[in-house]
């Protein structure tokens, strides 16, 4: 007898339908065969499933069992197939009517005692089940809230295999779970830090305001103790809240990577990732034999903070070029090629030299000119060109430490959200969200300059030796500065301020 159950496999951060078919026959010697490009954890499910069935009170007759996972040419991995396999076996054995299995999607790992355990990637699985018009999705209670954020899909939580069988045969009922998504955003502004705590550095705060408003990348350059890390850690406090669709994107990434907290069904605050400089290129960009998301994808729609930037391995930094330019990263392996979203705001910090005091008037730099040059050369020109705002962060004066209050996060956030609204209206109907994405014809359309602005910018390009990419960055920054001042057109003083934020270019004058 043949029984079929629907489940799903992950490819990147999306899921695709898998039909798990079981053929159980008493002809021939008892055997168990699984086909359909199943990986190790899937093949091992046989032992878990048979123990779970036995300890849940179900007995299968000695049979020749063939399991097929279709489509058979795409890899299946993970332990989420335990639950659908157990149910399909019971359907093939006649314990559950095969008609009762139609339309249901199942996912869950089984313990030897028959308990149902949580698995990764339930959110994309739920989205795929809704797209296919499923009757409902059945998972363990720990995965219920994650799946229930998908509207238009009934999600049921079962703690044991026996409970699921009782539900499918009609002996008991389970109420589908509901999640009030509007409540998930409550308290999202309760940050423990604030820019008001940063003494002085008003120039850097202004740059952060511009960077956050237009989603521009930022590099802080200054001596130790000047507040670079402190500034970066407070950037999430001024970023606009995630929209629901953005929250779904981010949550899918955390779900498939296994980093979604079980007590929250949706990631509603913008991520802030700060990997150590010893990270590998695979850890940063993603990878493995079967690629998993890296830090650049975990920072999607949020902030990726790289402290002590020159201390990162050069090959690690160079892999940032693709996501910084295209907002996604493609990982190719012999078996497959996967793309993960990686649209983040890069915030980096570095000292001006190995000892850190090259630009500090109060300390003597112990580095030779050659050592300073070698230190700076760790960052390639193409990488620096992709960082819009390069900000000098000097040591804080004692007067500022004692008296300065400066901008707080609430004020900065209000300005940033106002500019984001301006951009949303300007780019309505276009595949552009912020000024940092302007390029080609859209750059010419929304960053038009008069003759006086062109003359000023031409002089700056020649005197600073700016690349074509740096020229584009300056126009994007100037567009954001103009939006902050509620100016429809880019003016000379907007360009001048934008150029002032390219400190690495100005060092070559």
Domains belonging to the chain, first-starting first, are 2-179 (3.30.230.10), 195-429 (3.40.50.300), 438-509 (no CATH)
Q: How many of the other CB atoms lie within 10 Å of CB of 70?
A: 16
> What local confidence, expressed as pLDDT, does residue 290 receive?
76
- Residue 342: phi and psi, rounded to 5, are -150, 55
Indicate the burial class of 77 (C-beta count within 10 angstroms; 0-12, 13-18, 19 or more).
middle
Find all residues with CB under 8 Å of 57, minimum gap 6, and list them.
Answer: 162
Residues facing 110 on adjacent strands: 116
> What local confidence, expressed as pLDDT, does residue 509 receive?
36
> What local confidence, expressed as pLDDT, does residue 508 receive?
44
> What local confidence, expressed as pLDDT, does residue 288 receive?
78
> What local confidence, expressed as pLDDT, does residue 404 receive?
64
> What local confidence, expressed as pLDDT, does residue 417 receive?
95
> What local confidence, expressed as pLDDT, does residue 182 receive?
82
> What local confidence, expressed as pLDDT, does residue 505 receive?
66
Token pair for 353: 């030299």
**Secondary structure (DSSP) of 141-205:** HHHHHHHHTSTT--EEE-SBHHHHHHHHTTSS--PPB---GGGGGTTTT--S--GGGS-S-HHHH
Distance CA 374, CA 353 (A): 9
> What local confidence, expressed as pLDDT, does residue 317 receive?
94
Residue whose structure tokens are 């300890």 = 55
Average pLDDT across each block of 10 residues of the chain; the chain has 509 residues. List them in order. Answer: 95 94 92 93 94 96 95 92 98 94 97 97 97 97 95 96 97 93 78 89 94 96 93 95 93 94 86 96 87 94 96 93 91 82 96 91 91 91 88 86 79 96 95 92 94 93 84 94 96 95 64
Residues 260, 251 contacting (CB under 8 angstroms):
yes
> What local confidence, expressed as pLDDT, does residue 109 receive?
97
């Amino acid at each position: 007898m043949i029984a079929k159950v629907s489940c799903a496999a992950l490819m990147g951060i999306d899921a695709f339908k898998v039909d798990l078919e079981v053929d159980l026959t008493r002809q021939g010697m008892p055997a168990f065969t699984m086909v359909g490009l199943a990986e190790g954890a899937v093949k091992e499910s046989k032992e878990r499933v048979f123990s779970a069935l036995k300890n849940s009170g179900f007995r299968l007759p000695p049979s020749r069992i063939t399991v097929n996972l279709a489509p058979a040419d795409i890899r299946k991995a993970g332990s989420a197939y335990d639950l659908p396999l157990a149910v399909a076996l019971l359907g093939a054995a006649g314990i559950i009517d095969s008609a009762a299995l139609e339309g249901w999607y199942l996912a869950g790992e089984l313990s030897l005692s028959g308990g149902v355990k949580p698995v990764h990637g339930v959110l994309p699985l739920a989205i795929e089940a809704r797209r296919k018009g499923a009757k409902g999705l059945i998972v363990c209670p720990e995965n219920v809230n994650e799946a229930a954020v998908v509207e238009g899909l009934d999600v049921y939580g079962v703690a044991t295999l026996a409970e699921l069988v009782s539900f499918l045969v009609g002996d008991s009922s389970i109420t589908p779970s509901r999640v009030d998504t509007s409540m998930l955003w409550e308290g999202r502004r309760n940050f423990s830090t604030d820019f008001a705590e940063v003494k002085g550095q008003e120039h850097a705060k202004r740059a952060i305001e511009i960077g956050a408003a237009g989603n521009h990348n930022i590099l802080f350059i200054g001596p130790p103790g000047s507040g670079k890390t402190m500034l970066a850690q407070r950037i999430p406090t001024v970023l606009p809240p995630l929209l629901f669709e953005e929250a779904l994107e981010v949550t899918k990434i955390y779900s498939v990577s296994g980093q979604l907290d079980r007590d929250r069904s949706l990631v509603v605050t913008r991520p802030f990732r700060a990997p150590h400089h010893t990270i590998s290129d695979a850890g940063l960009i993603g990878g493995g034999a079967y690629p998993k998301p890296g830090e650049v994808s975990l920072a999607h729609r949020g902030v990726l903070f790289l402290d002590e930037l020159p201390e990162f391995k050069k090959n690690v930094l160079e892999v940032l070029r693709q996501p910084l330019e295209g907002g996604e990263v493609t990982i190719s392996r012999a078996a497959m090629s996967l793309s993960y979203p990686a649209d983040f705001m890069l915030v980096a910090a570095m000292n001006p030299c190995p000892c850190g005091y090259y630009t500090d008037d109060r300390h003597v730099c112990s580095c030779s000119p050659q050592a300073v040059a070698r230190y700076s050369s760790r960052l390639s020109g193409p990488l620096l060109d992709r960082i819009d705002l390069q900000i000098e962060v000097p040591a804080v004066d004692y007067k500022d430490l004692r008296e300065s209050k400066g901008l707080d996060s609430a004020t900065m956030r209000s300005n940033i959200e106002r500019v984001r609204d301006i951009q949303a209206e300007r780019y309505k109907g276009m595949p552009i969200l912020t000024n940092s994405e302007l390029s080609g014809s859209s750059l010419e359309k929304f960053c038009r300059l008069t003759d006086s602005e062109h003359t000023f910018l031409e002089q700056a390009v020649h005197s600073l030796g700016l690349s074509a990419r740096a020229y584009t960055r300056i126009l994007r920054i100037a567009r954001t500065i103009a939006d902050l001042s509620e100016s429809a057109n880019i003016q000379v003083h907007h360009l001048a301020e934008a150029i002032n934020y390219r400190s690495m270019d100005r060092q070559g004058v």
